[in-house]
Structure 1
Amino acid sequence: MSLVPKVRLTGGLEVCRVLNGMWQVSGAHGAVDPVKAVQAMDLYMSSGLTSFDMADIYGPAEEIYGNFYSQLKSREGGTPSVQGLTKWVPRPGPMNRKVVENAVERSLRRMQVDTLDCLQFHYWDYNDKRYLEALGHLSDMQREGTIRELSLTNFDTQHLEEIVDKGIRISSNQVQYSLIDRRPAARMEEFCLKHDIKLLTYGTLGGGLLSERYLTSAEPKGKAELYTASLSKYKNMVDTWGGWNLFQELLNVLSSIAKHHSCSIASVATRYILDQPAVGGVIVGCRLGVPGAEHIHDTLQSFRVELSPQDLSEIEGVLKRSRDLMSLIGDCGAEYRG
């Protein structure tokens, strides 16, 4: 097993600095064989990548994790050295204790665990203040030992501050953060550093766009070329950021840096975000059970790369010519709330 760096969250849970993302088993990236998916998780585990990120709305993700966890428990005995971070993504509505308990118990049952390592709460509508009621109940359940780390997903800085001011301890906030989308650096980073809140980031590889595959390639268009939900989502982000020509300039710079460090573009892109001050970990999507779709080597390589001031200057030379996504979209998560 490789020595993979970890970060400690405020409740004491240690997670890998690169987490295995399970959005890709939701069905939006093609059919998934649950048996093969469980088998594939062993590859990540044996490489030292022991932290898995999922959600109640990611199709069978929690059940797949639960089957994996159960097999590990039988094989190893005791409590497996694996971390399961899930999300609760309710539609706005009643948020009394029973509603919250039912959601938590469903995840416990699916994941086949007695305690949730980390529950990351997302809420669609800030105008419906019942998200504060839900977080109050979740905080109580954390004190009771049902939840170890209480976290958020796609909350902006203003509402993160509101929640913290209510006395609710938040361990992390999961947000989009990449060379394309650097909005967390505008406001959220400073607040998170002040309150010991880690950023867990997704979209860091742009659904695969930040790779050699798209270097010097024609601009992908339509469902045939943007054939996964990730590719479609992050191609739209590239368009807003500056377009395909500027993106090609960025890939060229990243390719040159990657060759100098004997690694991949993905490793450079991951390292850049890992080095940002408030970032605890980067979530890299896993197409579990799809042969040849593992990128474990690139992930492990990102831990040994050290970007020089010259590397950063070359990257910044491209990024400074991009559009300001903070002014175009708004703070983190604004794209999900219209």
Structure 2
Amino acid sequence: NINRSRKRMDVSALDMLQFHWWDYANPGYLDALKHITDLKEEGKIKTVALTNFDTDRLQIILENGIPIVSNQVQHSIVDMRPQRRMAELCQLTGVKLITYGTVMGGLLSEKFLDTNVSIPFAGPPLNTPSLQKYKRMVDAWGGWSLFQALLQTLKKVSLKHGVSISTVAVRYILNQTSVAGSMVGVRLGLSEHIKDTNAIFSLELDEEDMNSITEASNKGRNLMDIIGDCGDEYRA
């Protein structure tokens, strides 16, 4: 309820409302978004955004006059699906991408460099749902050995700039077409990533850095061919 949210937050208008729809077979998402647009025109919402919509549905939504400002999608050096189709549409229409999963739950870090998680107790435990989810992405992309080669490339770049692997991983995605921001998860009291996150804003990857990371990323499979477009992993 929009009015309840406005009251709880003590604001006249919500800065953004992000909308997700599970079943594309039900076209009711257009009716819902038109209602949300009406609320925007009434001044109760400032901007309308999406979460995990694919390129085809994003285009349909835009063609129906819904003023979408962003789409929140999974995007990392391993999962480059947003750049395959969606980024071009976003560039043409001004829609921005807000990314999550950019450090893959922590897999893209020094903690998992030179490890073998397939051997019980030999490496860091995959003890969160995020780590388990993104390990499956690694498996689909090319497997742990290829992922180690990617981490080695990122480590080389990180040492060059005096930052962490995670910082390089986020900066690389922020440099991609139509990406406006990236969300980095925290676990309060356990992992807050303040230093690494602050370093992202001052890090400048040069052409050599970008090319070496792209080359390492491209050695894996195209996840568009395996999983489908953005958000399809939740609709299989």
TM-score band by shorter chain is over 0.9
The aligned counterpart of 1:241 is 141
- What code does the residue aligned with 1:280 have? A
**In the alignment, is residue 147 of structure 1 matched against residue 55 of structure 2?**
no
2:182 corresponds, among 279, 282, 285, to 282
- Provide the aligned C-alpha RMSD in A: 1.7
Equivalent of residue 317 in structure 1, options 205, 215, 220: 215
User: In the TM superposition, what whole-angstrom CA distance separates every residue of 1:26-63 from its partner, at most 9, and x where no partner exists?
Assistant: xxxxxxxxxxxxxxxxxxxxxxxxxxxxxxxxxxxxxx
Counterparts of 1:260 and 1:177, CA distance in 2 = 24
CA distance in 2, matches of 1:112, 1:227: 38
Q: Report the 3-state secondary structure (helix = DSSP H, G, I; strand = E; otherwise coil) of the residue aligned with 1:259.
A: helix
| 1:232 corresponding residue in structure 2 | 132
SS of equivalent to 2:139:
helix
**Is the Cα–Cα contact under 8 Å of residues 207 and 231 in structure 1 kept in the other structure?**
yes
> What is the aligned partner in structure 2 of residue 51 from structure 1?
none
Q: Please, which of 57, 71, 75 is the counterpart of residue 173 of structure 1? A: 71
Q: For structure 1, which runs of at least 5 residues remain unmatched after alignment?
A: 1-101
Corresponding residue to 2:162 among 258, 262, 265 = 262
- Structure 2 match to 1:272: 172
In the other structure, the counterpart of 1:120 is 18
Counting aligned pairs with the same residue, the percent is 51
Provide the C-alpha distance between the structure 2 equivalents of 1:279 and 1:320, rounded to a whole number of angstroms.
19
Q: TM-score, normalised by structure 1?
A: 0.66
1:307 equivalenced with 2:205 (yes/no) = yes
- Please give the alpha-carbon distance, in whole angstroms, between the structure 1 residues aligned to 2:77 and 2:8: 35
Q: Work out the CA distance in 2 between the residues paired with 1:283 and 1:150.
A: 18
- Any conservation in 2 of the 1:210–1:269 contact (CA below 8 Å)? yes
Q: Deviations 1:248-299 (Å, cap 9, x if unpaired)?
A: 00001101110000000011001101111200100111213x24x1101101
Between the aligned partners of 2:118 and 2:5, the Cα distance in structure 1 is 37
CA contact (8 A) 1:220 1:226 kept: no
- Once residues 156 and 163 of structure 1 are traced to their aligned partners in structure 2, the CA distance between those partners, rounded to angstroms, is 11
Aligned to 1:333: 231
**Structure with the larger strand share:** 1
CA distance in structure 2 between the partners assigned to 1:326 and 1:192 by the alignment: 17
Cα distance in 2 between the residues matched to 1:271 and 1:219 = 26
Give me the whole-angstrom Cα distance separating, in 2, the residues matched to 1:126 and 1:331: 13
Match of 1:190 among 74, 88, 99: 88
Quickly say closer, same or farther: Cα 1:304–1:119, change in 2 above 3 A.
same
